[in-house]
Structure 1
């Protein structure tokens, strides 16, 4: 069950062990779309996320999805996208990416260089027209999982220039 958003910080409260709050898709919709500010933008992002999750779970049926970013807050500014970290065993990821190249389209790419077409550098390429920011977290490497727990528990500075070390927040986990 998703805890109430703190009315002062407009963030989810953090768990003491920096673990995510477990949630269902219906709960995410009810709290962070229907019950949150900027509903129209959130509807668009959530629609993309629902399709994204279905596609991801066809490739990785056991994947756990960690949800983070402005979407899982009640900030006044409308969220740009939904940050999603998907946790799967690294051997499963390698197997799927070797066999099915379309699964790569589910990831965010930064600093990509290309030969064709005419452009040679893409600063950031995100799934679903930029509505999803997606990252792979190898669930079989505990130190990497713990790094993501630490990073996703940190609240960002209001100016958007880094993270605070005096304020921690919660994030969500959704499974298939």
Structure 2
């Protein structure tokens, strides 16, 4: 039996999603389970070949909004994700969320706001980062209870309303 060389294993390790939650911090009134919910959502976002396993977070008429680009419903959400993160694997995202707060709450939804850094790396070694602010509109059930169940069709809106600089690669090297 042959075993892959350590260099092959280390090379493949660089292709694995690299979500980093070490700087994640919660403000007041963040529900138990939101960190796990966000972690799973970002892992699905960062995997270039994931499609419906990402879109099943959303309601049937849910929206993924990146700056001014709006995708509504599963097909459009998947298409926008694939436009931003091609399935070829030549581009990778690494989310580094930090400050998480409650933006608003009503009897039908709770809106979480997450600030952080997103690193974009390209095959060949170029890695740059941008700063982001995102809001996640998570729906409550008929009794007004919030569920942090993942892949449950309870995300009405995922809105990256700030991504600065707005293009990748940026002039900010990763790790700065």
> Same fold by TM-score, threshold 0.5 exceeded?
no
TM-score (norm 2): 0.28
TM-score (norm 1): 0.28
* Bigger helix fraction: 1
* Bigger strand fraction: 2
